[in-house]
Amino acid sequence: MSRMPPGPPPPPAVQRLRIRFAKRGRLRFTSHRDFQRAFERALRRAAVPMAYSAGFSPHPKISYVGAAPTGTASEAEYLEMAVTERLDPAAVRADLDAALPTGLDLLEIVEALGGSLPERIEASLWELRLPGVPTATLAGAVSRFLAATDITVERRLKDGRRQLDARAPVLHAGVIEDRNCAILRMVVRHVTPAVRPDDVLVGLRQVANLTPPVPPLVTRLAQGLLADGDPATDQLADPLAFDRGCPSERAPAADGTLVASDGASVEDAVGVSAATHG
């Protein structure tokens, strides 16, 4: 027979709120656990009436979706939380954003209208800025990466070192010219274990000996479902669009024209190239 603590049960949840937030600047080095602590502290400061789990160690009902790796910036982190009173999402956003440190920025809060938030997210759009790497050099490396059938990299996970295929989850990759540095944008499908931007960089080093002279600045620009469920598209459906009543809205996508990996050249890649991997 399960034991329950004495006293009345916690108040029930009456509303679920979905939040998109950003990690910027030096706060990109904040770990997921550090963000959890900072966010729960902000909830207390803003006096948000959180719903709590039952039991001897109650905790606020917050679900995090696909946290970005420590050291990467993001414009598209998501969480869902439950509250015991009906609240105005805009007012909650203002109060919580004021209670969080600059660099952990709440961009949007909407009321959840149904469905599962994790089921609306299957891929990420990443941007990697590589100072000191010529655009043509990066474009050539990306062309060779896309032309490969598989690229095996190794990474240490909780259960030891594992080999991962860094190529298969990369649905699109494109190079953008910039006066200050070469920019790689890519759409990466979420798989288990996750293939991260640094795994792709290891793959680029393997196939093209690409070694950036300084660490790249990595930013997740968007998360969502592949638009229309089509792996040949470089656009992601906004996971909060349904809750806004706009199910056709799409998240930001890499600029440019799609070209097939088997036909991509260095010249095609300068600007943007993209490819699917079947």
Question: Measured at the alpha carbon of residue 191, what is the angle toward residues 149 and 226, in degrees to the nearest 5?
Answer: 90
SS3 116: coil
Model confidence at 4, pLDDT cuts 50, 70, 90, reads low
Burial string for 40-78 (b: 16+ CB within 10 Å, else e) reads bebbeebebebbbeeeeeeebbbebbbbbeeebbbbbbb
Residues in contact with 149: Cβ distance below 8 Å, sequence separation at least 6, in sequence order = 167
Element (H, E) at 103: none
φ, ψ of residue 42 in degrees (nearest 5): -65, -35
Q: CB of 59 within 8 A of CB of 36? A: no
Element (H, E) at 275: none
Tell me the C-alpha to C-alpha distance, in Å, between residue 194 and each of 68, 97, 260. 10, 29, 24
Tell me the C-alpha to C-alpha distance, in Å, between residue 27 and each of 24, 151, 204, 249. 6, 32, 27, 29
Q: Which residues pair with 236 in a beta bridge?
A: 226
Higher pLDDT, 177 or 135: 135
Give the model confidence (pLDDT) of 155-175 as tens digits. 887 777 889 899 999 999 999
pLDDT at 259 over 60: no
State CA 80 to chain mean position distance: 15
Element (H, E) at 24: none
Cβ neighbours, 10 Å, residue 265: 12
pLDDT at 183 over 50: yes
Question: Measured at the alpha carbon of residue 68, what is the angle toward residues 83 and 232, in degrees to the nearest 5?
Answer: 105
Model confidence at 251, pLDDT cuts 50, 70, 90, reads low
Model confidence at 7, pLDDT cuts 50, 70, 90, reads low
Q: Name which of 136, 135, 129, 201 is nearest 167 in CA terms.
A: 201
Give the model confidence (pLDDT) of 195-233 as tens digits. 999 999 999 999 999 999 999 999 999 999 987 666 656
First to last CA, the chain: 51
- 245 HSE (CA, 13 A, CB side): 0
Q: What pLDDT score does 23 carry?
A: 95
| Residue 131 to residue 123: CA distance in whole angstroms | 26
pLDDT at 269 over 70: no
SS3 206: helix
Q: CB of 45 within 8 A of CB of 64? A: no
